[in-house]
Structure 1
Amino acid sequence: MKPLDPRLLRYARASRAYLAATVALGVAQAALIVGQATLLAYGIAAVFLDGLDLAGLTPTLIALAAVIVGRAGIGWLQEAAAVRSSAAVKDELRGRLFAQAAALGPGQVRTGEMIALVTRGLDALDAYFARYLPQLVLAALIPAVVLARLLPADLVATVTIVLTLPLIPVFMALVGMHTEAANRRQFRLLARLGHHFLDVIAGLSTLKIFGRAAAQAGNIRRVSAEQRRVTMRTLRIAFLSSLVLELLATLSVALVAVGIGLRLVNGDLSLQTALLVLILAPEAYLPLRQVGAQYHAAAEGVAAAEEAFAILAAPVAPAFDSISAGTIVFDEAVVRYRDREVLRLSATVEPGEFIAFVGPSGCGKSTALGVLLGFAALSDGRVSVGGVDLSGVNLRDSIAWVPQRPYLFAGTIRDNIALGAPADADVKAAARLAGAHHFIADLPAGYETMLGDDGAGLSAGQRQRLALARAFLRDAPIVLLDEPTANLDAATAEGVMAAIRRLAHGRTVLMAAHRPELIALAGRVLDLTPVGAR
């Protein structure tokens, strides 16, 4: 793990001010540590050698109390700054991750892993900002200040500390390489568990119908047990490495103390100097020991930050929206999943044309739409719109998409149609065109009616009309329809098809369809059935 990852400064500007404040507070902390040791050494020597009474010692005690209060105040400031900065950095990273995920599009980032990352993953950065980073600054400042103070007082002790001090970071690096790998494994396993759990919850009704819920529960138990084993293994490494660092620091301080004791007995060193060295020597090693201890607390957050940086650094295809008069060309477009060809298409779609993709399930109808949406990557061939190859751009800003089962959010009907902040008049106009206004108006709260998760409370036909209202409101030049009347009765399907006729006017429409009456809406039909299967 890098002591300070420069990507934090690049992706989280809030960390810059915090780092500057941490350095300033660290300098003040180091100065107060030296001041405290000097006052203690002077006071103890003055009492035992010079017989100084309480009255004569009062100024020293007052100064010592002020130093102690100052150190406590600086500690409080560091903690407060760390909490505020950590919250600001996490908010900034979460905002950037959401924007990046939206720019990359579905299929580029796994939902469960993203949820694990933006929740527990980034929350673990608290330990990095609150404990590890301040301690890292102190580890760089305090030993330097302590050695600068000890050098004129005792050259032998200073040299001993200089020679033994590097042993701690060397062993920290050796242990850290193994610890970092263990923390990465732990976080990735947690992300995989989260993704698997989300998939199981989303498909729970299907699993119950086919009697596979118990089997999936067993899978979750196995993955959870593996994650628990990896976590305990990581904790074991953390405790053992802390023991190694503590042992090194203790032996190093003991070596300094033995040298001080021998020279003090021989009369080669004054009591005040000996006390100063004995008080300051542990302070030189302490920050490095604590860095090693805090490293493990911060490692999970740093592993999560690495995953966040990888997502933020992923290349985003630029948006391409100048295609109102563009011809869509599928030039030997091939999509394969696991070495199995699921789509092979050569076709030209002129502007304003209504195309229906037909064929048996699995022949690639939805995949053809997914290629335009950026959900499916081409294995071979090319697709262009208006002469522009779509391999390096995304077309989503120019597309209105009506899927077979539209997703509705827990919120008001208005928000589910708007997906943003269009005017109420535009939302209602889109709902009228989609044939949704009448049933919305009959609801007790109208457009402010709250829906449950995934549109709970609406029928399939009502959900489909809201999806069509979204498409009308978007007013995009290309419309993609994926089985828009699936699972609808004949009367409801007729109303949806009437809305589709209105939506198709003046737009390029590509539709995946099975129902003959829906296919009849299209101006041209493309059969995607593989040649050998016809």
Structure 2
Amino acid sequence: MSKPETLLDDLSADVRKETALLLAAAVAEGLLGVAAAFLAARIINSAVFEGADLATVLPGLAQLLGVAFLRAVIAYAGAQAGFEAAARARQGLFARLLDHVAALGPVRLSGTATGDVATTLTDAVAGIEPYWRQWLPATATGAVLPIAILLAVLPVDWRSAAVFALTLPLLPLFMVLAGRSAERASQRQWASMARLGGHLLDAVAGLADLVLLGAARREVALVAKTADAYRRETMKVLRLAFLSALVLEFFATVSIAVTAVLVGFRLLWGEIAFIDGLTVLLLAPLFYAPLRTLGIERHARMEALAAADRLASFLARPVSKRVGTRPFVAGDAVSVRFDCVSASYGDGRLALDGVSFDIRAGEQVAIVGETGAGKSTILSLIAGFLEPAAGTILIDGRPLASLDLDDLRRHIAFLPQRAFLFDTTIAENVAMGRAGDVAAALRAARADDFVARLPNGVESRLGEGGAGLSGGEAQRLMLARALFAPAPLVLMDEPTAHLDAATEAAVGEAIATLSAGRTRLTIAHRLKTVEAADRVLVLAGGRLVEEGTPAELKARGGAFDAMLAKLETGGAP
């Protein structure tokens, strides 16, 4: 069984009750249709050939109406069960995907475009719904109803039953033959749609930069080219779908016509009773209808399989194998130790090569180095986004690999260069679902002044990414978030790197408040950050080449002097 089918089977097992109900409803609806055909044949025969009056056929009509009403109720219940199964499967899958995204972390997702992840979490999840709403009911009726009708017709007219039995395999045969090409085309169409969705989302996210760089027209042309490729693939799928539907309709119509001609001649020759012939003619369309429906809904299955293939590939991406469960209990500050730690991003190149250092509890440490020296790798290792290839990391004397990551991360405050804010209120952006004093956190982050000027204060709604705020204001909200739930370990990637001097001073004061009594590790891009540190780690080529206080390193010269020269001129190391 392929990965997409395995995924769909796993999801069906999660909604076993709803799936069983929709399958039972589909079969029951079909069997009631057979019962209605027998009742209708008996009523017509009584009225036409037996001369029955209205009073005689009225009970039969009441039964027929009752069957029709019951069939409608069961059809409604089946449709509801299908929607419920699809909704629950989609909800469970979405939660599973979010857990997988969290387990992958930003490092393992760094090589994946944001648009690709977004289309996987939206379009691909939505693409599996037809599997329950359309394909499974069609499968149930296609498997049960023709056999049931064949058994019902056999005692009535074995010749018609023989025609049914001989023509039955033709529809599945041509459905498979026509469906192979359609399945391949559907997979290509889904891949094209995923590329289009991912490309469009990434283009919209970077629209401001594209306009500033004068690349907007070129990007429009690329999106148009991708959209045209998706259009062509969609038309191929539709062409094959219409062709397969035509083939099924043709053979089903021919089979019904053969049955009708045979019954007509035998009625003319007196070889079959009218009620039996009419029953067969009423059942013939019902006999072939499930197979025709199955052929049509096979495209829903192909769409679900194409979506499931993308989802299964995403879920198959390897995550951390660590199983640390030890709770992390810390005081106001924590110590960090790297003992001969090496790390790689999976490309064979070591981002860190045998790095060792000790950070005491409450110490303020700056990390400097050229791009690619391994600065960000150290923060990723401490946060558990990356596993060391060799060596040991100790947090407060306990191996990082033994700690519960979720518990550890609750004790870490991270401040990146650019703020990550959400499309919700300021209060919710700061609290992030936790209870506490938002106003106090805003005051400590020197953010209360500009928040008070907003029309609704802390209940003012921000745009995605903090739209409507300046860079300094957004960064101070990030500081307020870190101050809201004090963490003993603070990791920073130079949060003042893109701010003007006045805003940098205000944010610097808030950082000093945040760092008081805590352990802080900062990737430094500014001279002030280095000079304010208790100790500096100098990295080059994934190795720790120097460490010491700023004064010691300056007096010693060497690699640190080169770093200072770049920092003094405003260049990022």
Q: Which TM class, normalised by the smaller chain length? A: 0.7 to 0.9
Determine if contact 1:405/1:464 at 8 Å carries over to the other structure.
yes
- Tell me the alpha carbon deviations over residues 265-290 of structure 1, each in whole angstroms, 9 at most, x when there is no partner: 55443232222222212212211110
Instruction: Give the corresponding residue for 1:35.
Output: 35
- Tell me the alpha carbon deviations over residues 214-266 of structure 1, each in whole angstroms, 9 at most, x when there is no partner: 11111111111111111111111211111222223233334444544454455
Q: Distance in 1 between matches of 2:241 and 2:391?
A: 51
Q: Which moved more, 1:310-319 or 1:204-213?
A: 310-319
Instruction: Output aligned runs, 1:38-437, within 5 Å.
Output: 38-54=38-54, 56-106=56-106, 107-108=108-109, 110-261=113-264, 263-311=266-314, 317=320, 322=328, 324=330, 327-329=336-338, 331=340, 333-335=342-344, 344=353, 346-352=355-361, 353-373=363-383, 381=390, 384-386=393-395, 388=399, 394=405, 396-423=409-436, 425=437, 427-437=438-448
- The secondary structure found in structure 1 opposite 2:367 is strand
- The secondary structure found in structure 2 opposite 1:517 is helix
Q: Distance in 1 between matches of 2:339 and 2:170?
A: 64
Measure how far apart 1:27 and its partner are: 3.8
- Structure 1 residues 477 and 31, CA gap change in structure 2 (3 angstroms): same
Instruction: Give the corresponding residue for 1:448.
Output: 459
> Percent identity at matched positions?
39
Equivalent of 1:488 in 487, 499, 502: 499
Determine if contact 1:400/1:471 at 8 Å carries over to the other structure.
yes
- The secondary structure found in structure 1 opposite 2:15 is helix
- The secondary structure found in structure 1 opposite 2:465 is helix
Unaligned runs of 5+ in 2: 546-558, 563-573
Measure how far apart 1:496 and its partner are: 2.6
Determine if contact 2:124/2:311 at 8 Å carries over to the other structure.
no
Q: Which moved more, 1:496-505 or 1:452-461?
A: 496-505
TM-score (structure 1 length as normaliser): 0.86
Q: Distance in 2 between matches of 1:11 and 1:508?
A: 45
- The secondary structure found in structure 2 opposite 1:528 is strand
- Tell me the alpha carbon deviations over residues 323-349 of structure 1, each in whole angstroms, 9 at most, x when there is no partner: 745644263534468777765561323
Q: Distance in 1 between matches of 2:394 and 2:422?
A: 32
Equivalent of 1:478 in 483, 489, 498: 489
- Structure 1 residues 171 and 508, CA gap change in structure 2 (3 angstroms): farther
- Tell me the alpha carbon deviations over residues 71-108 of structure 1, each in whole angstroms, 9 at most, x when there is no partner: 33433333344344434443443344334433433353
Determine if contact 1:323/1:477 at 8 Å carries over to the other structure.
no
Measure how far apart 1:448 and its partner are: 2.1
Q: Distance in 2 between matches of 1:149 and 1:81?
A: 29
Measure how far apart 1:146 and its partner are: 0.9
- Structure 1 residues 307 and 207, CA gap change in structure 2 (3 angstroms): same
Aligned-partner residue type, residue 385 of structure 1: L
- Structure 1 residues 224 and 392, CA gap change in structure 2 (3 angstroms): farther
TM-score (structure 2 length as normaliser): 0.81
Q: Distance in 2 between matches of 1:13 and 1:49?
A: 53
**CA RMSD after TM alignment:** 3.5
Q: Which moved more, 1:435-444 or 1:464-473?
A: 435-444
Aligned-partner residue type, residue 322 of structure 1: F
Determine if contact 1:13/1:89 at 8 Å carries over to the other structure.
no
Determine if contact 2:342/2:350 at 8 Å carries over to the other structure.
no
1:17 equivalenced with 2:17 (yes/no)? yes
Measure how far apart 1:136 and its partner are: 2.1
Determine if contact 2:425/2:458 at 8 Å carries over to the other structure.
yes
Determine if contact 1:349/1:355 at 8 Å carries over to the other structure.
no
Q: Distance in 1 between matches of 2:6 and 2:390?
A: 40
Q: Distance in 2 between matches of 1:444 and 1:54?
A: 76
- Structure 1 residues 374 and 234, CA gap change in structure 2 (3 angstroms): farther
Q: Distance in 1 between matches of 2:121 and 2:404?
A: 27
Determine if contact 2:352/2:374 at 8 Å carries over to the other structure.
yes
Determine if contact 1:383/1:391 at 8 Å carries over to the other structure.
no
Aligned-partner residue type, residue 456 of structure 1: A
Q: Distance in 2 between matches of 1:328 and 1:278?
A: 84
Measure how far apart 1:486 and its partner are: 0.8
- Structure 1 residues 465 and 344, CA gap change in structure 2 (3 angstroms): farther
Aligned-partner residue type, residue 234 of structure 2: T
Measure how far apart 1:111 and its partner are: 3.3
1:527 equivalenced with 2:533 (yes/no)? no
- The secondary structure found in structure 2 opposite 1:280 is helix
Unaligned runs of 5+ in 1: none
Q: Distance in 1 between matches of 2:392 and 2:162?
A: 70
Q: Distance in 2 between matches of 1:59 and 1:298?
A: 43
Determine if contact 2:22/2:77 at 8 Å carries over to the other structure.
no
Q: Distance in 1 between matches of 2:346 and 2:494?
A: 22
Measure how far apart 1:512 and its partner are: 1.0
Q: Distance in 1 between matches of 2:256 and 2:517?
A: 83
Q: Distance in 2 between matches of 1:323 and 1:143?
A: 66
- Structure 1 residues 410 and 43, CA gap change in structure 2 (3 angstroms): closer
- Tell me the alpha carbon deviations over residues 424-452 of structure 1, each in whole angstroms, 9 at most, x when there is no partner: x2x33333333333443454433223223
- Structure 1 residues 332 and 435, CA gap change in structure 2 (3 angstroms): same
Q: Distance in 1 between matches of 2:226 and 2:525?
A: 40
Q: Distance in 2 between matches of 1:27 and 1:289?
A: 16
